[in-house]
Amino acid sequence: MSRRKRKGAREGYDFMQIRDLSRSVGQRAKLIGVILDLGFPRKSKGTDLCCCMRIIDETNHQIAMAVNIFEENVERLPRVAAVGDVIVLCCVEVKSFKGEVNATFDKRFSSFGLYKGKDGDDLDPYHVSSYFHHIREDESLIVKLRKWLMNFQPHEDSCNFPMLREIKEETSVNLACKILHFCEAAKDEWIIFAWDGTNTPPNVICSKLEEEINSPLPLQLEPLPLSREVLCTLPVVGSILRMTFDADLVKSHLHLFLLEEEINSPLPLQLEPLPLSREVLCTLPVVGSILRMTFDADLVKSHLHLLNVDKWVKFMNMRLKVADGLWLGVFTPQSKLQYTPNEDGLIVERQRLSEEWLFPKPSFITEEVNQDHAIPVTLMTVLTHSEVVTAKFKCVVRVVAATPCQAENLLSSTGEYRMRLTLEDSTARIHAFVTAKDGEVLFDGYPDIDELTRKLNILLGVNEVKDAPRNPPWVCVCLKSFCVSKTDVWSSRTFKIFDTKIVGDT
């Protein structure tokens, strides 16, 4: 029998391996296990806060056991440094719910100690609760558990962790992503940037083109743009998902991670209030979508410190939504962080896919004039280009907004084209201007109002049904970057479309 009794002088209860707990339902026990996943603290039905984690050991790692910890405030809950650390639980109640054994930590008599995981060699706990006593007899068990963890690989079905290219709106999913960056969008409001090397599905645009002047479509979800320094560290392919906290989560422990209306309500370039600075943008990948993540407003953000930049992590039960056509992930009370070793098979697969990233297939609506041999790049590559301010690019994008959006208003009083387009791909969203000669090329001269309207509607994905959501097609465009202030060239960097012509309907 594998049950081992190790009564400490001050404990008076037995150490048990997880697989043997089914024999002790209704009793108290001492456990030592590895934290496989960790939920966010939430309010219990009473006055306490509850934090749920699942633990494993060498005897029970196929199905982890839930541990519910109740304490009167956040400060008394386990301050886990990393998922995968070791926890010693003393005098916890063994219970059964729907046929599964679990443990409950009662603040009146239970105690815990937290120890580093497989990379640790210190045998002293880094965080303990009241009444916890570290005893020498536990040290050999901790060492043994660390050695076992060195070779342990969670067996996850890839179907349980869809890639960003497979996500759907208003669903709860598990995600395996790399944390690229996080920032405080407002006081106690955090946004996390996550990426897996693939492209999020393009969304229909529900805002009205007429709202663009007074309420433009945002370029990003965060209040301020990422600095250039940060941008230059990000990937230039793949979508970056923003994540936030849900409104029902307790806010603390921030140490953890209609067409005319488009004029008045322009489509945002991002979900955050201000775009990321160029410094931040330059740290991001230039391929693949970057998912923004936020937290429910009342969530205890006690695990933000676990979201280390440049590290891969598994999120469980993330809620996905779309805001202004941009994807957003939301941490809810049901969300968890799962142990993710560097050699995890899901992570290796995503790293490989990011190296095989491909551009969306563009339609034949546009053609490039004199630039047909240029190699396409992502908008993130455009934003993070650091050699010179003035540069030319070829991109595959969607035109999601235009100002003005009525054909009769595209010409200035002098008879020249002047308009602003909002472009997006899987990596970013930007504004690009069309003026003078570039407008003549784009619209093939000065067609009549009906023909101009037809071409503009094709570009914007305008449906024949009035006020229907738009799904703009992928098109090739040529972009040129330039500065409008020689005293601050990078901050005043602007984009325009050139050498691009609308030639077809599909």
Domain boundaries defined on the chain? 18-150, 173-355, 366-502
Encoded tokens for 300: 């205890």
Encoded tokens for 217: 């479509």
Cα gap 93→31, rounded to integer Å: 11
Strand 429-435, strand 418-424: pairing:
antiparallel
pTM of the model: 0.82
- Residue of higher predicted confidence among 259 and 454: 454
Q: Which residues have CB under 8 Å from 434's CB, separation 6+? A: 417, 418, 419, 420, 421, 442, 496, 497
Cα gap 357→288, rounded to integer Å: 7
The answer to whether 435 and 417 have CB atoms below 8 angstroms apart is yes
Cα gap 265→210, rounded to integer Å: 7
Q: How far apart are the first and last CA of the chain?
A: 71
| Residues in a beta bridge with 477 | 395
pLDDT in tens, 268-282: 777 777 777 777 777
User: Exposed (0-12), middle (13-18) or buried (19+): which is 43, by Cβ within 10 Å?
Assistant: middle
Alpha helices in 151-205 (DSSP H): none
Q: Is CATH 2.40.50 correct for 173-355?
A: yes
Return the CATH number of 18-150, one of 3.30.1130.10, 2.40.50.140, 2.40.100.20, 2.60.260.20. Answer: 2.40.50.140
pLDDT in tens, 389-401: 899 999 999 999 9
pLDDT band for 248, please (50, 70, 90 cuts): low
Task: Specify the pLDDT at position 247.
Answer: 67
What is 366-502's CATH number? 2.40.50.140
Least confident of 123-132, 381-390, 441-450: 381-390
Task: Specify the pLDDT at position 495.
Answer: 97
User: Exposed (0-12), middle (13-18) or buried (19+): which is 291, by Cβ within 10 Å?
Assistant: buried
Fold: same for 18-150 and 366-502: yes
Backbone angles phi, psi at 276, to 5 degrees: -65, 145
* Among the listed residues 433, 314, 442, 317, the one whose alpha carbon sits nearest the alpha carbon of residue 367: 442
pLDDT band for 468, please (50, 70, 90 cuts): confident
pLDDT in tens, 299-315: 666 666 777 788 899 99
Cα gap 228→112, rounded to integer Å: 44
pLDDT in tens, 322-370: 999 999 999 888 899 998 887 888 898 888 888 888 888 899 999 988 8
pLDDT band for 9, please (50, 70, 90 cuts): very low
